[in-house]
Amino acid sequence: LSDRLTDTFRHLRSKGRITESDVNSTIRDIRVALLDADVALPVVRHFTGAVRERALGAEVHEALNPAQQVVKIVNDELVTILGGETRRIAFAKQPPTVIMLAGLQGSGKTTLAGKLAYWLKDQGHTPMLVAADLQRPNAVTQLQVVGERAGVPVYAPERGNVSGYDAAIESRSGTQGFGDPIAVARQGVEEARRQQRDVVIVDTAGRLAIDEALMRQASDIRTAIDPDEVLFVIDAMIGQAAVETADAFQRGVDFTGVVLTKLDGDARGGAALSVAQTTGRPIMFASTGEGVKEFEVFHPDRMASRILDMGDVLTLIEQAERAFDRRQADEMARKFMAEEDFTFDDFLQQMAAIKKMGNLKSMLGMMPGMNQMRDAINALDEREFDRVEAMVRSMTPFERTHPKQINGSRRARIARGSGVQVSEVNALLERFTEAQKMMRQMRRGGGMPGMPGLPG
Ligand code: GDP
Ligand code: MG
């Protein structure tokens, strides 16, 4: 997947502007890539439509080349659909805040109940768990174990308290269910209120497939406890079935947020896009393992990168956008076109821009087509940058624009002024001459590849 996209973008990178046929062929590749990531077909269609519209529209970001523009559009669109900003739990004004979990069996609800409780407890909340999955006696036991690991109390129906409990345990049938999960959920919330717990998390039953009776049960529990949040829990590995499942739960129970589980697996996360797009509900949390701490707030931007599998490029673009002052880039481009010589002021500006972008070495490694500049700047590390800056600042304006005129006595003065050895000034001048030569070569080669100001 990633290879194919990378090829597409490499192809685009070599062109000066985006044409309709560029967009069309890119869209075709993105389509395949998304289907590979198990995004549902209708979602893929909608998504590619939105990307096409934006890519062909007037919205052109001058600081980026065509390939980067398409990456950015694809990424922005993904992040938008995935929910933009992360949404937080809507806590009730009158505690306890009631959080109900719903989803297919095996999706990770019970595990999540423990994680969520642990996470909330860690932030100073006083959660309680309620075992309202009475389909199988084991489900109650499982939640009790989970609660113990999280160090959080569990409200569960007791043997003998609930009709059918003993019978269910004895028969181990696990199919009929026992007791009244709606009553247990209600009592659990009441118990939490009585104990002045500020959050109560209600675990519910699920089936392996969408099931009318169970959906009704979940809906009845919802009505009985009037939760502040209903979290739909879905396994990231569910693939193409994500849309149908999410749709059924939205119609059957309705939910306020989504939790994506098993992201520690190799699922690409296409389900996230499908669910978010189909239901319009935000994905709030991600579950990344079986342990009680393997849980995090969902980050739409990270998921977008995961779906596209090109995090480095995206990070680079963001950093580049931040670092580049438009005017500076324009000026650099103008000079380039006007065949004015590359001066020490330009050199300084470029280094400052690169420095602003973060770690120099990793930057050079990430930057597509940065190889040419690499030799000229490679020797610079962050510490050395300060010395170079000091040297350039010790030059007169004339020297900065006429580096060839910097003779021995000028070099000695610059070295004194910046507190370095003359040999360092010599090395800098040598490196600068290399960069200048390279700029001339590139200009002869026609056009200006890559980002303005950063010869690509
Ligand atoms: P429920 O039927 O919805 O309550 O699902 P469970 O919480 O019982 O989880 C089903 C299985 O998935 C269990 O074996 C869990 O240990 C496992 N599981 C749950 N969440 C995750 C996760 O994020 N990553 C992994 N690898 N396993 C998980
Ligand atoms: Mg369960």
Structural domain boundaries in the chain: 2-85, 97-298, 324-444
What parts of the chain have a pLDDT lower than 70?
1-19, 22, 25-26, 57-68, 71, 159-177, 309-340, 352-383, 442-456
pLDDT at 85: 72
Distance (angstroms) between ligand 2 centre and the Cα of 239 equals 21
Report how far ligand 1's centroid is from the alpha carbon of 105 (Å): 9
Strand, coil or helix: 187: helix
Q: What is the pLDDT of residue 102?
A: 97
Whether residue 95 has a cis bond before it, omega within 30° of 0: no
Phi, psi dihedrals of residue 234, rounded to the nearest 5°: -135, 135
Residue 271 and residue 393: Cα distance in Å, rounded?
A: 54
pLDDT of residue 436: 77
Nearest atom in ligand 1 to the alpha carbon of residue 113 is 7
How much is the pLDDT for 330? Answer: 62
Q: How far apart are CA 422 and CA 430, in angstroms?
A: 12
Report the nearest atom of ligand 1 relative to the CA of 142. Answer: 8
Q: What is the CATH number of domain 97-298?
A: 3.40.50.300
ipTM value of the model? 0.99
pLDDT of residue 35: 82
Distance, in Å, from the CA atom of 199 to the CA atom of 95, rounded to the nearest integer, reads 7
Say if residue 108 carries a ligand binding annotation: yes
pTM: 0.66
For residue 135, what pLDDT is reported?
A: 87
Distance 206 CA to ligand 2 centre (A): 7
Q: 2-85 and 324-444 share one CATH topology? A: no
As residues whose CB is below 5 A from the ion ligand 2, the structure lists: 109-110
Query: What lines the ligand 1 site, CB under 6 Å?
Result: 103, 105-111, 206, 261-262, 264-265, 287-290
Residue 450 and residue 421 in contact, taking contact as beta carbons nearer than 8 Å: no
Q: What is the pLDDT of residues 311-361, one digit of tens each?
A: 444 555 555 555 555 556 666 666 655 656 778 887 777 776 666 554 444
206 is in an annotated binding site: yes
283 in Cβ contact with 246 (< 8 Å)? no
For residue 96, cis peptide bond before it (omega within 30 degrees of 0)? yes
What is the topology classification, in CATH, of domain 324-444?
434 Repressor (Amino-terminal Domain) (1.10.260)
Q: Give, for 345, the enclosing helix (H) or strand (E).
A: helix 344-356
Pocket test for ligand 1, best of 143, 290, 294, 298 (most atoms within 8 A of CB): 290
79 closest CA partner among 259, 308, 244: 308
How far is ligand 2, taken at its centre, from the CA of residue 198, in Å?
23
Q: Is 311 annotated as a binding residue?
A: no
Name the CATH code of domain 2-85 (choices 3.40.50.2300, 1.20.1250.20, 1.10.630.10, 1.20.120.140): 1.20.120.140
